Amino acid sequence: MPLRIFLVEDNPSIREVLVGLLEDVADCDVIGIAPSQAEAMHWLTRNPEGWDLLVVDLFLVEGSGMEVVKACAQRLPRQRVAVLTNYADASEDRAMSQGADAVFDKTTQIDEFLAYAAAHSDSPLQRDNS
């Protein structure tokens, strides 16, 4: 079964690329997208068990991705939160202390991020790296 991903990203171009990469390369299913903190919080409140991986950008046009990360601190053990941001070095410690499981830089660590997603799915990429 593909990994169910909920994506919190406000940039339409980045969203489009990420959805394509996650669905094609890592055998994931992007089940929802939110461009703002409020929309993400609303979806997550209505679907507390409906996702496996939450992918969050920290700097959103409305609100903060860090607040979304913090809101998911009390999640199921199988659920993971990955931060995907342009400011990974400056934000990693804080994001991890707020409940993120991993932090990746959008510009330099896309391959690592995809490998992380694939490792939590039934992706061929994950099986090839075993």
> What residues does each domain of the chain span?
3-123
**How many other CB atoms sit within 10 Å of the CB of residue 74?**
7
Which CATH superfamily includes the segment(s) 3-123?
A: Response regulator (3.40.50.2300)
Beta strands 102-105 and 53-56, pairing class: unpaired
- pLDDT tens across the length of the chain (130 residues): 789 999 999 999 999 999 999 998 887 999 999 999 999 999 999 999 999 999 999 999 999 999 999 999 899 999 999 999 998 888 999 999 999 999 999 999 999 999 999 998 764 444 344 3
Look up the pTM and report it.
0.90
